[in-house]
Amino acid sequence: MSRTVLWFMLALAVAELPGMPSAESAGRLKITPARTEVTIASGEPAPTGSYKVKNTSGQTVSVTVQDNVSWLSLTPTSFTLSSGATQTVTYSTSAFSSSGTYTAKILFIIAGGTNSPTSQILVKVIYKVVGSKTDLVVDNLTASPSATVACGTPFTVTASIRNAGAKPSGPFRITWFQNGSVFYRGTHPSLAGGAVSKDYTRVLNFKKGKSRGTYIFQVALDANNAVAESNDSNNSYSKTIGVSCP
């Protein structure tokens, strides 16, 4: 294995370790932080960030900075650092119009000294973009122990609920239906922007001799439209459960 390949593998291994506050290339360059994650609302200006680059080697090195996306700007993209010197590299982007997760990989390429091979450090910038308003979503309904239950056996139906927007929802109405008829109506506590709730569970028990067949369960959020949302079309979810009676 060549020295160049070995240096590259060491740089990536150190930079990608989870939870590390900085990335370092075999004692030559230290970059802080190794990973940045920012949550912003769609349409709002994205904050500018920066990396602190320090030359931890005993010689002068040249550094080139590259990224793999078109929406990120880097300044500066090349510089020279004497031993022990530091350089701040800033990154910026315009506002994101759509929700989602946007990840940029930034590569620091280091060269310097007649006996030192070129090495590289990979760091990441992640923007999590959420809706600018509240957006209540039912992602799923799950039945336990399974989607087919036996008469007389208690089972649970659990709704996975989240606020995909940036604004807190405030308390909101939650309604449960069985074959189109309401069997529970209550109030769910407020969900902060990006928060998830998987604890809203209904415990049910079909009586023997009367319940064989197929049942459609549905949960609906904010049926009275008390919460101003960016999207009302994702406020409900249905699941079919079969009941088997011996």
Segment 168-214, tens digit of pLDDT: 899 999 999 989 999 889 899 999 888 888 756 667 776 665 667 88
Domains of the chain and any CATH numbers? 3-130 (2.60.40.10), 136-244 (2.60.40.10)
Question: pLDDT at position 128, please?
Answer: 85
Question: pLDDT at position 22, please?
Answer: 53
Question: pLDDT at position 19, please?
Answer: 34
Using DSSP's 3-state secondary structure scheme, residue 91 falls into: strand
Residues 61, 113: contact at Cβ < 8 Å? yes
Which residues of the chain have a pLDDT value below 70?
1-27, 113-117, 199-202, 206-211, 246
What is the C-alpha to C-alpha distance for residues 40 and 151, in angstroms, rounded to an integer? 48
Question: pLDDT at position 18, please?
Answer: 34
Q: What is the pLDDT of residues 227-240, one digit of tens each?
A: 988 888 999 999 88
Question: pLDDT at position 242, please?
Answer: 84
Cβ neighbourhood burial of 191 (10 Å; 0-12, 13-18, 19+): buried
Token couple for 33: 């932080």
pTM: predicted TM-score of the whole model, two decimal places: 0.51
The pairing of beta strand 35-41 with beta strand 49-55:
unpaired
Beta-strand ranges (E) seen in 12-67 are 23-24, 29-32, 35-41, 49-55, 61-67
